Amino acid sequence: MAHDEHNSGMRKGYNSALRILREVDRDLASPNMDDTWGDGYVTYNVSKDLIHKIYGLIKKDMEECTDDQF
């Protein structure tokens, strides 16, 4: 029973982290499309890439750590 509670708590923590990351992703301001290769556009793309990478790593860790292995 304790293992199920532990897994449930971990899943809740991972889901909260993913929810917060999606919220940050939605809050990123779109760049000015007239300035295609300006600083704002590059910063936006780097931010989106970083968020995507973090999201994938959290999902991977979530699958590995909350899988019932016993």
Query: What's the whole-model pTM score?
Result: 0.77
pLDDT digits (tens, 9 = 90+) for 8-48: 888 899 999 999 999 999 998 888 777 777 788 888 899 99
Tokens coding 38: 């300006």
Q: What is the pLDDT of residue 30?
A: 83
Return the higher-pLDDT residue of 55 and 69. 55
* CA distances for 39 relative to 26, 45, 54, 68, angstroms: 20, 10, 22, 46
pLDDT class of 70 with cuts at 50, 70, 90: very low
